[in-house]
Structures are given as C-alpha cells and as structure tokens.
Amino acid sequence: MIPHRSTALITIIVFVALLLVIFSSSPSPDLESGEKEEITGPAKYIPHPKFPSLNDLHIPSFHPTAHTPPEAQPNSTSGESKWFSNWAWINPFSSSITLDENRSVLPPLRDRPFIYTYYEPNKANDKAEENADAQLLLTWRRAWFAQGFRPVILGRGEAMNSEFYQLVQSLAVKPELEKELLRWLAWGNMGDGLLADWHCFPMARYDDATLSYLRRGSDPAFISRFEHIGSALFAGEKTRINDAISEATKQIQDKAQSATSMFDLVPAEFFKMEQQSSIAYYNSAAITSNYATLAEHLAKSPPEGRVELAELINSHLHTTFHNSFPAGIAVLKPFTEHTTALVEPGLRLSKALARCPDSPHPHLNSCPPNLQTCHPCDPEKPMHVSQPATYRNTTQVFTIGILPHPYTLVSLQQNSAEVTTRHIRRETERDPWLKEVTKEHLGMELGGSARAVVFKKAVAEDGVIGTSLWMTVEALPPDVGQALPSDLLDEFEWQFGFKIPRTSNVDAKNEGEAKDSMQNANPSLQGVEKEYEVLKQARELLNSKEGPRIGIKDVSEAWNLADTEVWRFVRAYRARSVVERKKWEEEEKDFIGAKPRA
C-alpha cells in the first residue's frame, strides 16, 4: 500500500507534467524546414521564444485595483503645495480622493461676483491727483476683495463698446447725467454684477446679511438699489440693465434738460429697494456733515484731501474689524512650554491688528457714515489678545492658528531636531497637536480622522470665512525676534481688507529698532532662542530633498497621519488663496488702483 505522503508527491508530479505538456503543445516555428517567416515593422524587435515566458502564462496580478487619480487642475500647485478642488473635501484623508499623499482636497473656490466701478482720469493730467485717486481705488479694491467680490475698474473704453454709446453721445445732456449714463453703459457692456461708486465701501462682517445677499446675486426681474446711499450701489443682470438703458434713451428726449440721474429716466418698476446698514458711502454730503476737517482739506488741496480720505476709510475698515470681534483675537498656543517661538509671528500680527488704526488726524479716528454708533478704538484699552491652548468655536473672537509639521512639533517638545524613530514610536502620542487644539470642543475620546474633519470645517467652511487666519510655521521667519516679511503682510491685507499698521517689530522693512521677541511667561526651559534654533533646523530638514535623515520626516508623518493631513490642508488652502489673488492681480495690473504706486 502506497503511503499517503507518496500519493501526494505523485499527484503533484502528475499535475506539473500535465502543465508542461499543455504549454509545450503551443505552435512553434519549424526550425528543421529552414524556412523562417519574415517579420517586419515594430514586431521584429519583440523577442519570440520557443517556449512561453511567464508573461505569456497570463498569471493574474494580486495587486489591489485602484482608480486613476483625478486630472490635475490648472493653477493647482504652488511650491511644495498641491491641491485638488472638489466637493468631497470634507474627508478625513485627501489621499483617498487624490491617490496622492501630497495633494490636498480643498473646497471648490467660491464664486466671486463682479463689482464694477467707473473711473475717468482727470482731464488736466494732474499726477498728484491721479496718484491720490490710485490710493483710494486701491483701498476700494482691497475692501471689496476681502469681502468675497471681484472688483473691476471700468472706463470710457467699456462704455464705447455699448450699443447705446453713439446714441448717448449725440444727445445734449447735463455733465452729471452724461457721467451717469457712461457708468451704466460700461456696466451693461460687462454683464451681471454690481455697480458701485468708488467712494462706496463694505463696512461690516463677512457674514453680514446684506453682503451675503450681494454674493448670492440679485433678483433677475429687478435692479436692486439700497437705502441711504442713493445711486452709490446697484445690483442686476445684464439683460435687465440694458433694458433700463434702452428705456432711459427713450425718455431722454423729453427730459434732457431736467434729468440728472438714471432715476429721472427709468421707471420705478425697474428697481427694487433693499434695506441695508452695511455700506458706507463717502460722498461730499457725508464728508461735510461728519468729517468737517477733512472737508476743508479737500476744498483747499484735493490731492492731499483724497489721500487723507483713503487713510480715514482704512481706519474705519480697521475699526469695523475691532467691532466685529468683541472678544478679541486668539492666537492658538498648545503645549505652552514648547511653542513660544512657534506662535510668536502670530502674536506679532495680532498685536498689530489690535492696535488702534492709523488716522490722518487723531480726531478723525471716528465711525463710518453707515454706523455712527460704533465703538471707536481707545488707545488705553486696545483689542484683547489671548493665547488659548484650544480652538474655540465662536464667531466673537478672531483666531490666528499656526500649525507645525509633526516632525517640527516633536523636535520642539524634546528641544532638539535630532529625532529618532525609536523616540517617535515609543515616547510620543499620535496626532498630539490636533488632539490638543480640539480637546475642549471634542473631548478626548475621538480619533484623529474624526478630528481632522471637524478641523477642516473650522478652517474652510462657509460659516467661518472671515473669522480666522491659518498658516504653517515653516512658511514664517525662522530667526529670533524677526519681523514678518512685508510681502506676507501685503497678502494678509487682502484678506482683512485694510492696511495693517507697520511698526519695527511687525514689518521687516522697518526693523530699525531693537528686535522685540515678545516672549510670554511660558518659554521652554532652554529659552526661546533654543526654540528658534530647533525650528530652523526642522525647516531645513523638511525642505531637504536628500540626506541620511530625510526618512525621519516620513516616519513622523506616518505616525501622525491626522496631524500631517491638516498641516498639508492648511498649507494648500493658504497657497491657493495667494495664487487666486495673484492671478486676479495679473489680470488687472494695467488698470489704475491695481497696486500701490511709487
């Protein structure tokens, strides 16, 4: 009787023999006939073995199937930051969508409604007056851009493209009506959006009801106008705008000598009046009644007066920011004994924002025309600045958050950039930064993935826009007490909507005085200088593309998946906002008010 082991062995041998017989039965070239089939074309470079290769056996692959990564979108990279804009952004880990560890999924860019203004340079070609207007127009652009709009300055060129231009030019009308008609012709030529006077400014929070309504778009059946500001602001769609212009041209023959505005020519049923208290209009009447000193300067020297007006408006925008956040500014500072250097740039920025706004005259540090009952800044009681360890979900406080890369945080916590894999895996918790800043809101039980979703919403959800500023520490100055780069402050101003006061310990261009490190009562045991040294070393390693220790970066990221995810998310979100603004600035660079003039 054959043993069981021998039976199994014989079975295997028979099975292998059958496989060989099957595969050896494949047709092969007749080598004995001496005739060879001529092979031409690309096929002649492909080997033709007598016996089938492993590839010919079609052995099935056991790799998991994967979808093709989404096609990269235009303008979706900046430096090391990469992103993919998609509605699936509320996801614990972007790589599950992009199949790319380094590409973050961000919410789609919000649509920016166009807001147009009409400007014609002075006929005398006065450079001082033109430069003053450029400052005022830049202030106008920045304020509306920060509120989620796309400001565009129109001129006679756009009006000339209107089908009604020749007709209007042939009419004998008053100068003020001609200017009003040209405004509308330029607006009707461009299309849907808002038409604003360049002395008209948004003076409210981002989530204000009127501003939210303007971002959503107006009723297509009407042209919206707004209480208390006359013809300073309209909202409408192109078809309705041009219908109104057509109606005006029909009425103008009978009212050419008496009409001074479109309201005298267009029937009232074309318009819909909207209530509002969020728009400030700095027309001559408002300036005369509220800011007498400025009115005198405008009468004596229009260029200097307009520069002062731009400064006054900027101070009102800054005051509005103060009034919007009665609880002050919170600079997140988790792990207080190790993160003084990490949050110092944010603290510098917060102190600049908390200062009373600059004004051309101290007594002009007042309230905007739309809100005469505001709370002007008191130098003796500046805006409160706090440094909580956790994020607080409230719109009463403006939050500044600075995120460290997991490797940077581990280095700070052990006061050395010489981090080992053993230390990370045995001495540190997973995702400590995210857990620390969300523990008050979410408790201690949730895992990193759930916290990442909540944190992403706190950064980018519609309801929190305008209430926080997030950045990564690796993008900030690395030296002890170093002021913020001027280009970084310039970029922040387009988010806040006003000029940030520049002092020696805020703006790097003004570092003539001794550096102020702004240390608080909780520096690390070895001092803030040591923290800055560790930050600098960590930044160098993270930016390095080669070297024996580059693997520690991957280890720290693998150990802290959620911390790494939100760090990349914030880095990409910040980078995309910069790319968006620069693209818009490039499109508008040839028009007055696009940037400060020398």
Whole-number pLDDT of residue 23: 60
Whole-number pLDDT of residue 256: 65
pLDDT at 68 over 50: no
Give the residue, 234 or 76, on which the prediction is more confident.
Answer: 234
The class that CATH gives domain 114-281 is alpha beta
- Helix, strand, coil percentages, rounded to 5, for the chain: 45, 10, 40
pLDDT category of residue 264 using cuts at 50, 70 and 90: confident
Whole-number pLDDT of residue 591: 72
**Residues linked to residue 532 through DSSP beta bridges, in sequence order:** none
For the segment 528-536, the average pLDDT, to the nearest whole number, is 89
Q: Are 135 and 306 in contact (CB under 8 A)?
A: yes
State the pairing for strand pair 150-154/398-403. Answer: unpaired
pLDDT digits (tens, 9 = 90+) for 479-499: 766 678 888 999 999 999 999
Whole-number pLDDT of residue 39: 45
Predicted TM-score (pTM) of this structure: 0.84
For the segment 350-367, the average pLDDT, to the nearest whole number, is 78
Percent of the chain with pLDDT over 90: 55
Question: Distance between CA atoms of 584 and 565, rounded to whole angstroms?
Answer: 29
Q: Which amino acid is at 74?
A: P
Tokens 């070609």 locate to 125
Whole-number pLDDT of residue 365: 57
Residue 553's H or E segment, with its range, is: helix 551-559
State the DSSP code for 272: E
| Contacts of residue 561, Cβ cutoff 8 Å, sequence gap at least 6 | 93, 430, 431, 448, 449
Pick the most confident of 168-172, 209-213, 474-478.
209-213
Residue 107 has a CB neighbour count (10 Å cut-off) of 19
Residue 240 has a CB neighbour count (10 Å cut-off) of 18
Question: Distance between CA atoms of 93 and 566, rounded to whole angstroms?
Answer: 9
pLDDT at 57 over 70: no
Among 281, 189, 191, 179, which residue's Cα sits nearest to residue 232? 281
Tell me the DSSP string of 160-224: HTSTTHHHHHTS---HHHHHHHHHHHHHHHH-SEEEE-TTEEE-S-TT-HHHHHHHH---TTSEE
Residue 348 has a CB neighbour count (10 Å cut-off) of 25
pLDDT category of residue 114 using cuts at 50, 70 and 90: very high
For the segment 209-213, the average pLDDT, to the nearest whole number, is 95
Whole-number pLDDT of residue 6: 66
**Residues linked to residue 257 through DSSP beta bridges, in sequence order:** none
Give the residue, 141 or 26, on which the prediction is more confident.
Answer: 141
Among 443, 477, 456, 461, which residue's Cα sits nearest to residue 563? 456
Domain ranges of the chain: 114-281, 324-588
Q: What is the mean pLDDT of the chain?
A: 83
Q: Are 449 and 456 in contact (CB under 8 A)?
A: no
Whole-number pLDDT of residue 24: 57
pLDDT digits (tens, 9 = 90+) for 384-437: 999 999 999 888 999 999 999 999 999 999 999 899 999 999 999 999 999 999
For the segment 450-471, the average pLDDT, to the nearest whole number, is 95
Whole-number pLDDT of residue 50: 45
Whole-number pLDDT of residue 518: 41
CA 541 to chain centre: 27
pLDDT digits (tens, 9 = 90+) for 251-263: 887 776 677 888 8
Question: Distance between CA atoms of 205 and 208, rounded to whole angstroms?
Answer: 5
